[in-house]
Amino acid sequence: MPIIGKIKGIILRMFFGDHTPPHFHASNNENEGLFKIEDLEMFKGDLNSKDQKKVKKWAEPRKTKLKDMWDSQDIQNID
């Protein structure tokens, strides 16, 4: 699973050909959350609220790029 970014102990990934809705994965050493690209809400997982805030802050300015990567399946690091 390609890494698309890293923030303060959280690794962000996107799978090729993953299920809908368009989303990315965020995980720390113990927990994982799946975040919808459209509204950046975590729809599955157990990532704590502090880490969820970090992920959303990272993803907000990158929403267009995240959606483009999902659509094209040209997944790359966008740190």
| pTM of the predicted protein model | 0.94
Q: For residue 6, what pLDDT is reported?
A: 96
Q: What is the dihedral of CA 56, 46, 43, 27, to 10 degrees?
A: 50
Report if residue 79 sits inside a domain.
no
Name the residue range of residue 54's domain: 3-72
Residues 6+ away with beta carbon under 8 Å from 70: 14, 22, 23, 37
Whether 49 is covered by a domain: the verdict is yes
Q: What is the pLDDT along the chain (79 residues), one digit of tens a residue?
A: 799 999 989 999 999 888 999 999 999 999 999 999 999 999 999 999 999 999 999 999 999 999 999 999 988 899 8
What's the confidence (pLDDT) of residue 41? 98
Structural domain tally of the chain? 1
- Decide if 9 is inside a domain: yes
- Name the β-bridge partners of 25: 13, 34
